[in-house]
Amino acid sequence: MPEEPTTGRTMKAASTASVRDGHAIVKAGEFIEARFGAGTSPSLAARKTLALLIAKAAGEAWRPGSHVIAKRDLRGTHNANDRIQDTLDELMDVKFQMPSTSAQGRAATLTAALLAWTLNEHAEDGRATVEWEFTAPARAILQGSDYYARLNRAALLAFRSKYAITLYEMGCLLAGRRSPTWSGTVDELRERLGAPSNSMPNFSDFRRLVLTPGKAEIDQLAAFTMDWSEKRGARGKITHVTLTFTPKDDDATDAAADEAGRHSSGRKARREGTTETIVDTASLIASAASRLSVSDTLRWPADDQVDEFKTPELHAIGMALGGGHSVQRLADQYARVRPEQRRKLVGDALKADWTKWVTGCATKWGRV
């Protein structure tokens, strides 16, 4: 029998994460450091979708052949299924660029697409899927990759700026290193983030629209903080930027994880320490759900991720009765304490057990 092709550390880590840690997305460092081709900087939804495709393919992403993901698992990146096709079309057009070497051994720039093709089922019945294949150049990079970042799924999906997501990925790649910094010219940073200079010609605009809001989101949602320093060149013009990513302590990391699991309503107000009047739709949903009998199709999610898109009934109960604690934190503890029951219970029995657990935690932990 022919020997199995070898892979680098990234694919091994992705395989392990897919089995042991449903909250982590392992992304190759090469793709985090790559630039996007001219005019192909992905939108917020496209960046989130790509991360979920990478997570689904996991340690098999380097192999020739297709991968399949349920459309419902992409709902966290879209308001409706009809937008998924638009995002897939966008990803088909995305080109990445990175340093490479020609066949003659000369320095070169590799430009390639990420996805070879996609197949999006039209059905909206909850069983519809999206099938895709990575391109040969992308697979080759994945197969040989030896460095990577571990992204937190909830945090990544919580970001509201495409620039903040890219800064977050850079931070995940660098935060654990001895020198967790990135330094470069303003133009190099613009290229990394896909921030066109023609829309933000002045650095003051770039600072106001990219760096400042990016730092605000990262400091609130990530396991590290981001700061930057600026260096001026001739005539006082800012020419260079240094980004620094500093890991948080355990309490601050837990607080960030809780925030990432909370509903986005009021997040800006919580970040700025202000108040915001919010219609508590979760309480209304949970109240209605408690009076209804759910069918036996209600099951605990296989990946233990309880969110408003995949498991709205369970998420609504957590939001309304969980004392303000992160729904995902409640779900994580439930999965740990009830490793077998959560798989066996269905329908009304699951809803009743989850409600009892949520209210018990709220009483034990106190309200936030």
Greatest extent of the chain over all pairs of C-alpha atoms, in Å: 71
What residue ranges of the chain are covered by domains with CATH 1.10.10.10? Answer: 160-261
| Residue that is written with structure tokens 């990135």 in the block | 182
pLDDT of residue 368: 60
Whole-Å CA distances, 102 to 72, 106, 107: 42, 5, 6
pLDDT, tens only, 281-293: 445 444 444 444 4
pTM for this one?
0.72
Pick the CATH number of 160-261 from 3.30.565.10, 1.10.10.10, 1.10.3720.10, 1.10.260.40: 1.10.10.10
pLDDT at position 144 over 90: yes
Mean pLDDT calculated for residue range 174-200: 87
308, amino acid identity? E
Give the three-state DSSP class for 257: helix
Element (H, E) at 241: strand 238-247
Does 362 or 150 have the greater pLDDT score?
150
pLDDT tens digit sequence for 79-115: 455 578 999 999 999 999 999 999 999 999 999 999 9
Name which of 195, 156, 170 is nearest 77 in CA terms: 156
Do residues 307 and 76 touch, judged by C-beta distance below 8 A? Answer: yes
